[in-house]
Amino acid sequence: MQQELHALREEALQALERAQTSADLAAWRSTYLGKKGKLSQVLRGMGNLSPEERPIVGRLANDIKETLEQAYTERAEAVRQAELAAHLAADAVDVTLPGRRPPLGRLHPSTQVMREIERIFADLGFQVYASREVELDEYNFQLLNIPPHHPAREMQDTFYIERSPDENDVLLRTHTSPGQIHAMREFAAMNPDNPPPVRIMLPGMVYRHEQITPRSDIQFQQVEGLAIGHHITMADLKGTIEYFVRRLFGPERRLRFRASYFPFTEPSAEVDMDCLLCGGEGCRLCKGTGWLEIMGCGMVHPTVLRNGGYDPERYTGYAFGMGPARITMLKYGIEDIRYFWQNDLRFLEQF
Ligand code: 2NL
């Protein structure tokens, strides 16, 4: 029986050397040291031993058990280390590799230019005012001095949302000017007998039911400015616009104010700037004229002042309007306005 135990010890130690994984180890433990394991089986034969032999065999069995337990503990630690090392090697992260650049969004070119415009006028004391895109005929046309059958309506073909019998249809605003009326009335309501001065900007999307061409889309942004107060003159308008254009396009820019017509201003003017490409010589961009048209403006029509709650006998004002897309096209040499709202990343990623 002693020989049997010695043989079992050798067998167990050899088998333990071959155990490579925690699963192997668990199997080994139950095979040799478990309740129904090989050591227990041998010890079950102890009943047949003589009383002299029994303590000797008992001690030997205990020694072997201890030896195997200790060998198991050592082997288990080695296997655990090997498994951990394998796991770490498989999941290795090289922290010295350069990171992957996260895709970054950017502002739409029109938004960038819109913000530049707002910044410049903000420095002159203008505050930004936001207004609804769905409007009433009354605000989009009538209060701006464009009565129901006025020919000026044909300057702006309209998207109607709901026709109404009393000639006050619901429509998509064709310009940001109705927002100016809302703002004027809000300001005037603060002190109806002495309305406060106004200096506001009105940026936003406008809509026109027109043929889409490289030069005109059915939706585009517009930004308008409005200043109302005592003794505001056309000279204030010209000085303000000159300051604005030189900050946006450079201090060497020359301007030209050309008489024009808008129903809501009198007098009205179109503003031209010397051509960015040829400096006035005449080229493809300015179509040989040397000038680029960049905005419209004028002194607020007395009727419009009155409609906004301002007495035209006591107040005057100027207003101007421009399309940021047009400014952006001139700034970057973009040839087709339809790129602006097609959301093609190949276009947008260039800004
Ligand atoms: C253009 C020209 C303009 C205005 C907009 C305006 C608003 C009020 C009263 C008077 Cl409430 N005028 N706005 C005036 C002149 C020109 O826009 O070419 N826009 C793209």
In a domain, 334, yes or no: yes
| pLDDT of 183 strictly over 90 | yes
226 with 285, same domain: the answer is: yes
Residue 261 CB neighbours (<10 A): 14
Which amino acid is residue 64, in one-letter code?
I
Q: Is residue 261 part of a domain?
A: yes
Q: Is 4 annotated as belonging to a binding site? A: no
Q: Are residues 212 and 329 in the same domain?
A: yes
Give me the residues paired with residue 30 across strands: none
The pLDDT tens digits of the residues spanning 225-244 come to 999 999 999 999 999 999 99
CA of 154 to the centre of ligand 1 (A): 16
Whether residues 337 and 189 share a domain: the answer is yes
Are 164 and 278 in a shared domain? yes
SS3 of 156, please?
coil
Shortest-distance Cα residue to atom 8 of ligand 1: 177
Which burial class, exposed, middle or buried, applies to 231 when counting CB atoms under 10 A from its CB (0-12, 13-18, 19+)?
A: exposed
Residue 95 lies in a domain: no
- Of 89, 123, 157, the last residue of a domain is 89
| pLDDT 10s digits, 245-292 | 999 999 999 999 999 999 999 999 999 999 998 989 999 889 999 999
The CATH number of the domain where 276 resides is what?
3.30.930.10
Global pTM value: 0.73
Pocket test for ligand 1, best of 186, 220, 264, 329 (most atoms within 8 A of CB): 264
Residue at a domain's end among 61, 89, 117: 89
57/119 same-domain check: no
**Ligand 1 pocket, residue 177 CB under 6 Å:** yes
Same domain, 237 and 199: yes
Do 131 and 168 sit in the same domain of this protein? yes
Residue for token pair 């009727």: 303
The burial class, CB within 10 Å (0-12 / 13-18 / 19+), for 133 is middle
Pairwise CA distance, residues 129 & 118, whole Å: 11
| Count of domains for the chain | 2
What is the extent of the structural domain holding 77?
A: 2-89
In a domain, 69, yes or no: yes
Mean pLDDT of the chain: 92
Q: Mean pLDDT across the stretch 51-59?
A: 85
HSE-CB for 198 with a 13 A CA cutoff: 33
Query: Which stretch, 143-152, 184-193, 278-287, has highest mean pLDDT?
Result: 184-193
- Residue 259 and residue 314 in one domain: yes
Please list the residues that pair with 324 across neighbouring strands: none
85 plus 113 within the same structural domain:
no
Encoded amino acid at 278, one letter: C
Rounded to whole angstroms, the Cα distance separating 279 from 234 reads 26
296 lines ligand 1 (CB under 6 A): yes
Q: Does residue 96 form part of some domain?
A: no
CA-closest residue to ligand 1 atom 4: 320
Q: How far is the CA of 283 from the centre of ligand 1 (A)?
A: 29
Q: Are residues 193 and 76 located together in one domain of the fold?
A: no
DSSP states of 257-321: EEEEEETTEEEEEEEEEE-TTTTTS--TTTTTSSEEEEEEEEEEPHHHHHHTT--TTT-EEEEEE
- Token couple for 256: 């030209």
Domain presence at residue 308: yes
Q: What pLDDT score was predicted for residue 255?
A: 97
In the reported structure, the alpha carbon of residue 183 is separated from the centroid of ligand 1 by a whole-number distance in angstroms of 14
Tell me, using a 6 A CB cutoff, whether residue 176 lines ligand 1: no
Is the Cβ atom of 226 under 6 angstroms away from ligand 1?
yes
Does residue 117 sit in the same domain as residue 51?
A: no
Q: Is residue 292 part of a domain?
A: yes
Q: Do 133 and 20 share a domain, yes or no?
A: no
Structural domain includes residue 101: no
Pairing of strands 127-128, 198-207: parallel
Cα separation, 337 vs 329, whole angstroms = 8
List Cα–Cα distances, 180 to 132, 201, 222, 244, in angstroms: 11, 9, 13, 20
Domain boundary among 89, 119, 142: 89
Residue 52 clears pLDDT 90, i.e. is over it: no
Predicted pLDDT at 156: 65
pLDDT surpasses 80 at 152? no
Quick: pLDDT tens for 288-299: 999 999 999 999
Which tokens hold the place of 77?
Answer: 């630690």
Distance CA 318, CA 199 (A): 10
- CB contact set of 329 (below 8 Å; sequence gap of 6+): 335, 337
